[in-house]
A = this chain, B = another copy of it.
């Protein structure tokens, strides 16, 4: 089973890296771009034989305890059962 975990800064947390990218793009002439926020994502391969509920519980644990810092970041878990894109 394949899963994706997206981790991004909470909306209330400043993202200087995103702001820098946005300024750079504006200076390069791409003025239609008004805001950029950067996040990270993880493509995770889960062993066959793990049920969808188990996988979801596992990913919630992993995202909360390891992949994201819940003080300043939020995360989203997407399971893409059967599909391997």
Contacts and interface: CB of A to CB of B under 8 A. Distances in A.
Interface string A20-55: 010011001011111111111111111100100011
A62 interface: yes
A61 to B, nearest CB: 8
Contacts of A71: none
B44 A36 contact: yes
Interface of A: 6, 8, 18, 21, 24-25, 28, 30-47, 50, 54-55, 58, 61-62, 66-67
Which 3 residue pairs spanning A and B have beta carbons closest together?
A35-B45, A34-B45, A37-B43
Given A30-B58, A39-B40, 14 more contacts: A18-B43, A21-B66, A24-B66, A28-B66, A32-B46, A33-B44, A34-B46, A35-B43, A35-B45, A36-B43, A37-B42, A37-B43, A39-B41, A40-B40
